[in-house]
Structure 1
Amino acid sequence: MFKNQSNGLAIMSAILAAVGLVLMFSSASFGISLGNSWLMSQEDGIADTSQFMMVTETYTTAFVVSGGILFATGLLTAMLTYYCPISGC
């Protein structure tokens, strides 16, 4: 692998991992914010509490899952970037 390609992959893996961590660790605030905006879009801003909790947990889980996928992709890319030049992939 060429030196400039490996540098680009290293930068991309760091960005992916950082974005994934941000999404995972701030998923609660993102989920609550989207849950509140969903609640305000309901008629008169009123909804059943269990339904609101389900919507909020669903948004939070979506951010955790997408952050985990991005973090894992960044980690895998970093490992391949580090090990391929050594082993000659």
Structure 2
Amino acid sequence: MSKDHIKTFCIISILLIIAGFVLMFSSVSYGTSLGSSWLMKQSEGIADTSQYNMIVKTYINNFVIIGSISLITGLLLAMLTYFAPLFLRKNKG
């Protein structure tokens, strides 16, 4: 692994970690916003309250899941970026 690869992987992992945290911690506002836009698309902006709550919870859960996947992927990539050069140097010597 060259230094350019390591630098690129570090940048990608940091971006994935930041995106994961942003998606997880702002999932409520994103989910509520998408739920409100769903409600406006209904006929006359009227829907059953339980159905609206289910839609909002589903959107929130989707953002939490996507954020968690991004965070875990970023952390795994960061660990790979850290440990791969150590193992490659060890095997060469």
Q: Could you tell me the TM-score, scaled by structure 1's length?
A: 0.97
* Inter-partner Cα distance in structure 2 for 1:75 and 1:17: 7
Deviating 4+ runs (over 6 angstroms): none
What is the Cα-based RMSD across aligned positions, in Å?
Answer: 1.0
Distance in structure 1 (CA, Å) of the matches to 2:42 and 2:11? 43
| Structure 1, unpaired ranges of 5+ | none
- Match in the other structure for 2:4: 4
TM-score after normalising by structure 2:
0.93
CA distance in 2 between counterparts of 1:71 and 1:61 reads: 15
Residue identity over aligned pairs, in percent, reads: 52
2:19 paired residue number: 19
Distance of 1:43 and 1:2 partners within structure 2: 58
Query: Within 2, Cα distance between the matches of 1:71 and 1:8?
Result: 17
Shift of 1:30: 0.2
Count of equivalent residues = 89
Structure 2: which 5+ runs fail to align?
none
